[in-house]
Amino acid sequence: MIPALDELLGSAHVVSLKLFDRFRGLDSREALLLEGPEGWTEFSPFVEYDDAEAANWLRAAIDFGWQGTPHALRTSIPVNATVPAVPVAKVAEVLARFPGCRTAKVKVASPDQTLADDVARVAEVRRVLGPEGRIRIDANGLWNVDEAEHAIHALGAFDLEYVEQPCMTVPELAEIRHRTTYLSVPIAADESVRKSGDPLAVARAGAADILVIKAQPLGGIRAALSIIGQTGLPVVVSSALDTSIGLSMGAHLAASVPGLYFDCGLGTASLLAEDVTSEPLLPINGAIPVRRVVPDLLEQHAASPERRDWWLARLARTHALLAAE
């Protein structure tokens, strides 16, 4: 059941949070928070997403705030550090925000940087983590197949755990997976799962070894668990630069996955210079706890009236799409 729009609007708070470093072209992160009978929840599709795509994020918010959570198998979730496309000199500073994390995900393929920049950044991450650290890279689908093959060959020298979304389409992922078999570097799919009309297509095509699963874009914890169960592939539960409330949703999803073999991308509160709570879900000894989050800094980080109106109008439009189903 979809709650009435008036019920959602009654608890809606729109926040704007500064980031330590530019990430996905953003200097701040906006989110709309709601309080349901099961607790606080988050609706925060990126601003460029259309209403049809954003509707799944609202479905997830309602699932978490109004339907509760499945049985948790874990009380804490091991997480990775996330290194944006920062200069090499800042890598150690970024990694220090993720105390105890043994794994780092490094953003690569930024349009304003070169492969040489990526190699230097990954090399510095390897130096800081040491030989036992785990490194995964994320290209966000920005390489074509030839570029991806060249980059994976260049970066494979740093003992990569996997390469996330090297190319955008499922056929491209299948091709690059075939071409780089000799390098023994697994291919993970993110956008090909969360932005696809058919999240199972990448698994059916044999285009990935690992799936990156995010609760909000997939419609919530239960929808994500269904996809995981149908694919049979190992997964990494990750976030979409959420506030600690959205990260709590991701942590509850990760806690419900029967087999969790990889550190999760749920430590991203460390990328936020501000959060909605004085007790954020920051990594401690490389993990975050599985718990609900109650925001106590809403007024301090309230978005401007113009941005609040924009988000409330978006909430109304996406609610109408869900109600019409």
Active site residue 105: no
Name the token pair of 44: 């925060």
Calpha distance 178→125 (Å, rounded):
27
Residue 192: closest CA among 215, 223, 171: 171
Catalytic annotation, pick one of 18, 90, 107, 195? 107
Unique residue bearing structure tokens 């109408």: 320
Residue 301: closest CA among 60, 28, 62, 58: 28
Lay out the sheet containing 235-238: strands in order across: 81-83, 103-107, 134-138, 160-164, 187-189, 210-214, 235-238
Residue 288: closest CA among 254, 251, 237: 251
DSSP string, 81-95: EEE-S--GGGHHHHH
Calpha distance 233→200 (Å, rounded):
11
| Residue type (1 letter), 29 | R
Strands, E, within the chain: which ranges? Answer: 13-23, 26-36, 39-43, 76-78, 81-83, 103-107, 134-138, 160-164, 187-189, 210-214, 235-238, 287-289
Residue 17: closest CA among 259, 181, 247, 290: 247
Active site residue 18: no
Residue 286 three-state SS = coil
Calpha distance 3→198 (Å, rounded):
26
The residues that are catalytic are: 107, 214
